[in-house]
Amino acid sequence: MDRAATGPEGGITTETKERDMSSTSTSTAAAGTSIGPGTVHVIGATGKTGRRVVDRLERAGIPVEGRSRRSQPPFDWQDRSTWAPAIEGASALYLTYVPDLAVDGAPEDVADLVALARAAGVEHVVLLSGRGEANARRAELVVEASGLAWTVVRASWFMQNLSEGALLEGVLSGLVALPAGDVPEPFVDLEDVADVVVAALTDPALRGRVHEVTGPASLTFAQAVAEIAAVTGREVTYLAMDPEDFREAVAAQAGADYAQMLTDLCVEVFDGRNVHPVAGVQAALGRPPRSLEGFVRAEAAAGAWR
């Protein structure tokens, strides 16, 4: 979910610590290709994956422009007057939807933006999607049927939700509470997600596919926070909340609509459908995904939970 509180780029799962650029550089060089003379526009450039993708493209010398509500020109999913100026001159788009593709109307928004992009001469669209979400799949189908070159990066829950997302406060307070029961989740490292996105943008061989990306192993939230506790010495526990209690707690802080969306999303994806890890990172990058244990050690060394 940024797939944070929740989703691809906003939320507890839809985007900042840069640790490893070697895999992106290697995969791009190995492909021996480029995206062409145009520019990549990153929609959601200040989000968890967006800012990492912008940084990687800049380091690779690929023309890139970040678009967000604070950029010039700005981009705001809730203000359609910003859409056309934000994509003008782009040859490729990386799309992240805020707050999450799970919200009502998200597939329709993606459809309208993609149609606008096609009319503006955009050639390739990469969509960040959420694993196991019905509404996200509808958005994927829109991109696949767009007539443009397309790539979907479908991610499991981000490890970084525990270090820079909505779950960070819970870790620091000693209690992470979610309606996720004891269902295992193959958490994925955002560094892997960003590497796959950049590979998709720069290697035509990766186009026309859904790249489902997870970590190498599934852990429950209790096991994930126990790993943080073991490495940092903090006392951190996990509480499996009743969905209705969770909805009421989130509504008091973030409003009823957001609380309902987030609760519904948790109920949907934590029903066991996503428990098995897959080999999408290995297939796209030629290397295994990073483990949660490695992530925790690196984040602890960087001071994420001090």
Q: Would you call 21 helix, strand, or coil by DSSP? A: coil
**How many domains would you assign to the chain?**
1
Note whether 130 and 102 are within 8 A (CB).
yes
Reduced 3-state DSSP string for 233-301: CCCCEEEECCHHHHHHHHHHHHCHHHHHHHHHHHHHHCCCCCCCCCCHHHHHHCCCCCCHHHHHHHHHH
C-alpha 300/C-alpha 136 separation (Å) is 32
Six-digit token pair at 115?
Answer: 């149609």
78 within a domain of the structure (yes/no):
yes
Look at residues 163, 126, 180 and name the one whose alpha carbon lies nearest to residue 148: 126
CA-based end-to-end distance of the chain: 25
Buried b (16+ CB within 10 A) or exposed e, 62-90: bbbbbbbeebeeebebeeeebbeebbeeb
pLDDT, one tens digit per residue, over 218-263 is 999 999 999 999 999 999 999 999 999 999 999 999 999 999 999 9
31 within a domain of the structure (yes/no):
yes
9 within a domain of the structure (yes/no):
no
Q: How many residues does the chain have?
A: 306
CA distances from 98 to 5, 75, 264 (A): 11, 11, 16
What residues in the chain have per-residue pLDDT under 50? 1-35, 37
Return the CATH number at 72.
3.40.50.720
pLDDT, one tens digit per residue, over 186-230 is 999 999 999 999 999 999 999 999 999 999 999 999 999 999 999
Six-digit token pair at 59?
Answer: 């380091």
Look at residues 229, 192, 243, 234 and name the one whose alpha carbon lies nearest to residue 213: 192
16 within a domain of the structure (yes/no):
no
12 within a domain of the structure (yes/no):
no
Six-digit token pair at 200?
Answer: 């998709």
C-alpha 116/C-alpha 134 separation (Å) is 24
C-alpha 58/C-alpha 64 separation (Å) is 7
Look at residues 294, 206, 285, 290 and name the one whose alpha carbon lies nearest to residue 25: 285
What pLDDT is stored for residue 129 in this prediction?
A: 98
What pLDDT is stored for residue 26 in this prediction?
A: 33
User: Domain range spanning residue 225?
Assistant: 22-296
